[in-house]
Amino acid sequence: MTHRRRLAASATALTLLAGTHLLLGPSARADGDNSPAAGGEAATAAQVWVTTADGGKRLERGADVAFDGAKQDIDLAVDASEKGQQFTGAGASVTEASARLMSGLPDGEREKLMRSLFSADGDGIGLDYLRQPLGGSDFVAELPYYSYEDEQGSFSVGRDTEEILPLLREALGINPDIRVMGTPWSAPAWMKDSGKLEGGSLTEEHYEAYAGYLVKAVQAYAAEGVDIDDLTAQNEPLFETTYPSMGMSAAQQAAFLRVLDEKLTAAGLDTDLFAYDHNWDKPEYPLEVLDKTQDIDRVQGAAFHCYGGEPEAQQQVRDEGGRVFFTECSGTDSESGDPDDTFADSLTWQTENLVVRSLRSGSETVVLWNMALDQNGGPHFGNCDTRCNGVVEIDGGDVARNAEFYSLGHVSKFVDRGAHRIGSTTQQPGGVEDVVFENPDGSRAAVVVNSSDSTRKFSVTESGSSLAYELPAGAVATFTWPGEPAG
């Protein structure tokens, strides 16, 4: 039977070109004049922003680069006739830990931070997607862990109203286009076979109650001025641990999503549902869920994390017509513990894997984990083998932008929601890798990372014209130039 997921499959398959991937991609926005060339003429120059691995340049605007250079041995050939998935957004999570730190800043400093995160003006990066824990996670600000209904019949999002929801409203005031995903780490303990938030599974007799609980959460957030647009049934359903968590097999999730769909429909809510929300290494899980729920229109696709497997696994969901959202990856310190190493390693690895490879494998989003953590990687009550890092670090009243800020910013500042990924050739991991987008106005944005250990010279070619550029080892560049929508 042909169903909604298969309709997009033919348009999103990856094509191999002479050992490189011909990839499809979203469109792009940039500060400055990035409108299509008058009369449909070919673009003559690109604007460029660079972040270097040593931190010497951080989303720094460079000199424009003309499309009058020679094609290089490494050539990133752009083909706007090849189109892939739309871009939905980039961001992170305002966990309770993040909210405690951000709310604790003096008003002026907090407002400055919020604008740098959620506005695309000036040096802001225009984040527009937030994935919010529904109840407690490992990154609560203080114990005890909590759900919204610890005692049966006493539903309340009161703890979130203290710090999380005011920040979400402030973010929406800066950027009304922010889209929000809600994700629970656990059902209330009384719904589970373990009788506690940590570990265990939802009992079948409580499917109806848990679905009703999530509907109440969506309604409660809406009443507080925050719409939950997307919803997953369970964070990391294959990982039961010592903080709020809950095991859920693919068969159980498919059955539960059917109940949840009925409850959302009865409540008149149009929230979309996404399966899985776990690592790249088990794509068979979301494929099973999507197969068993293919008659439910609001089950749109699957969400993925970075802690196992490779980003290309996402393409299996895309090939079946499902949408792909990348929804979590935590920054961590490098093994050396040297802050300079951490910045360099994080910038390159995140851009290579979470931006380029993930978007080239069908993802519509780039979403990291904590928006803000302190100098100790907290507050948190889970497990970080090495210190966890947020998009920014807050130490008292001081705010520092981590590499995560820049790996997100190289996408979020230049790629508009509704952009399409377009065709481009790329090198394999360890080389010069890229993903290219076409914005709704036709402008292009190419995110390029040099994941090799030496400076590389390359060209970007479209419609027979090339620009040549040299990028240091580990550095990231975003190029933007005018263009006509390919249609």
- Stated pTM of the model: 0.91
Q: Enumerate the H helices of 237-371 as residue ranges.
A: 250-266, 284-292, 314-319, 339-350, 358-360
272: three-class secondary structure by DSSP: strand
Q: Are 234 and 177 in contact (CB under 8 A)?
A: no
Residue 98 reports pLDDT greater than 80: yes
Average pLDDT of the segment spanning 4-22: 31
Q: What is the pLDDT of residues 226-263, one digit of tens each?
A: 999 999 999 999 999 999 999 999 999 999 999 999 99
The answer regarding whether domain 89-412 maps to CATH 3.20.20.80 reads yes
Q: Is a pLDDT exceeding 80 seen at residue 33?
A: no
Average per-residue pLDDT in the chain? 92
Cβ neighbours around 212 below 10 Å, total = 18
Render pLDDT for 191-204 as a digit per residue (tens, 0 to 9). Answer: 999 999 999 999 99
Please give the structure tokens belonging to residue 254.
């498919």
pLDDT above 60 (res 28)? no
d(CA 447, CA 358): 12
The whole-number pLDDT of residue 487 equals 59
Separation of alpha carbons 455 and 450, rounded Å = 8
Q: For the chain, what are the domain ranges? A: 16-86+420-481, 89-412
Instruction: Please state the separation of Cα 293 from the chain's center in Å.
Output: 24
In the CATH scheme, what is the code of domain 16-86+420-481? 2.60.40.1180
Q: How far apart (Å, rounded) are the C-alpha atoms in residues 11 and 290? A: 19
| Strands laid side by side in the 89-93 sheet | 323-328, 299-305, 272-279, 230-232, 179-183, 129-133, 89-93, 365-370
b/e sequence 355-388, b meaning 16+ C-beta within 10 Å: bbbbbbbbbbbbbbbbbbbbeebbbbbbebeebb
Asked if the model's pLDDT at residue 92 lies above 50, the reply is yes
pLDDT digits (tens, 9 = 90+) for 151-174: 999 999 999 999 999 999 999 999
- Banded pLDDT at 13 (limits 50, 70, 90): very low
Do 349 and 338 contact (CB within 8 A), yes or no?
no
